[in-house]
Amino acid sequence: MNTVLALENVVKEYPLTPPVRALAGVDLTIEAGELLAVVGPSGSGKSTMLHIMGTLDRPTKGDVSVAGYRVSELSDAELSGLRSRHIGFVFQAFYLLTGYSALDNVADGLLYTGVPLDERRARASAALETVGLSHRLDHVATQLSGGERQRVAIARAIVGKPSIVLADEPTGNLDSTTSSGIVELFHELNRAGSTIVVVTHDPEISASLPRIIHLRDGLIESDRVRELSS
């Protein structure tokens, strides 16, 4: 077994008065090549957990390992290096650069990889094609529909062929046909070797994935692995 993500007794408190305990002691191990869903009510800690897995945030307590590195032992600069080499993140709010075209938003996902600009754009164009947006390369973010922006965000996350893809409600703004296309894309990336974690409210999507983690009140309520007939 090759563990790529491990959370040990992870607590996350946001420092308000009184503090908000978003994660209350999460233990979770994910092996290379897994494809899993994280589900749970709004406010149960799904985005917080994904951000911590993606090293975008540090836990208040507990240990996190990503791709074999203990996050607590790395500086912020080392963490951003780790992220650019290993992790593709699809944010719940897409965070596209508003004045930039779809193509440049995706090419931006390769900015810290040392790949030259022409090559970044070529790969961005290919990634946009895989999400069905080759006809929108030059539209800036404000000239795209909500679902198209979401697909640009997905293309940006996968353009570097990351070993770990963390997606927060990646189909929240998509119709069912486009949404099935994105789920199929995740299956393809997974077959090609990526480990994928998808936060979703859509029961059809979670039911189509081999492992489902239920969060409630910042804790794992259940963790089920199933045999899927395919």
Binding footprint of Mg ion on the chain (CB under 5 A): 47, 92
Please identify, using beta-carbon distances, which residue of 51 and 211 lies nearer to Mg ion: 51
| Residue 206 within binding range of ligand ATP, rule CB under 6 A | no
Residue 146 C-beta: closest distance to ligand ATP, Å: 16
Helix 146-158 with 176-191: angle, nearest 10 deg: 0
29 class by beta-carbon count within 10 Å (0-12 exposed, 13-18 middle, 19+ buried): middle
The token pair at 36 is 């899993």
Please identify, using beta-carbon distances, which residue of 24 and 115 lies nearer to ligand ATP: 24
Residue 9 gets which letter from DSSP? E
Residue 116 C-beta: closest distance to ligand ATP, Å: 37
Q: Of Mg ion, ligand ATP, none, which one sits near residue 16, judging by CB under 5 to 8 A according to partner kind? A: ligand ATP
Per DSSP, which regions of 74-194 are E strands?
87-90, 164-168
Please identify, using beta-carbon distances, which residue of 148 and 168 lies nearer to ligand ATP: 168
**ω into 59 cis (within 30 of 0):** no
- For β-strands 87-90 and 164-168, DSSP reports them as parallel
What mask, x for binding ligand ATP by CB under 6 A, covers residues 39 to 78? -x-xxxxxxx------------------------------
Which of the residues 19 through 38 are near ligand ATP (CB under 6 A)?
Answer: 20, 22
Residue 230 gets which letter from DSSP? -
Residue 156 C-beta: closest distance to ligand ATP, Å: 20
Residue 164 C-beta: closest distance to ligand ATP, Å: 19
Please work out the total of residues on this chain that contact ligand ATP, with binding judged by CB under 6 A: 13
147/120 Cα distance (integer angstroms) = 23
- For β-strands 195-199 and 20-31, DSSP reports them as unpaired
| Residue 172 within binding range of ligand ATP, rule CB under 6 A | no
Residue 28 C-beta: closest distance to Mg ion, Å: 17
Contacts of residue 178, defined as CB under 8 A and 6 or more positions apart, other chains included, come to 132, 147, 151, 171
Q: Of Mg ion, ligand ATP, none, which one sits near residue 177, judging by CB under 5 to 8 A according to partner kind? A: none
Beta bridge partners of 63: 8
Site residues (vs ligand ATP, CB under 6 A): 14, 16, 20, 22, 40, 42-48, 92
